[in-house]
């Protein structure tokens, strides 16, 4: 269960494609100033969104996942899609 009110505002972020090898998403550290509402917009060849809906990424939970550094400076938290919490808007 969540402790948010229906009028709670989140930063929103769209992920274009997951990390297929690990079936996860990478969330940059600088995006986690607050909890984040994400969606994964990737569509298969038939035009179906494979991961429909919105997912709440809680800041303190995201920071417990493994880190990957990209471009020598951007810290990504690698979060399995199965661990993302579905969120109804």
* Assigned domain for 17 exists: yes
Q: What is the pLDDT of residue 10?
A: 77
Domain extent, residue 64, equals 11-87
* 2 within some domain: no
- pLDDT < 50 positions in the chain: 1-3, 5
Instruction: Give which of 26, 8, 30, 6 is closest to 16, Cα–Cα.
Output: 26
State both tokens at 11.
């930063």
Overall domain count for the chain: 1
């Amino acid at each position: 269960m969540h402790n948010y009110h229906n009028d709670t505002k989140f930063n929103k972020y769209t992920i274009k494609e997951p990390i297929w090898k690990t079936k996860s998403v990478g969330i940059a550290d600088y995006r986690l100033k607050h909890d984040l509402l994400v969606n994964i917009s990737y569509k298969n060849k038939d035009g179906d969104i494979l991961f429909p809906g919105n997912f709440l990424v809680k800041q303190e939970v995201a920071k417990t996942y493994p880190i990957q550094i990209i471009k020598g400076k951007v810290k990504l938290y690698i979060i399995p899609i199965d661990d993302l919490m579905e969120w109804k808007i």
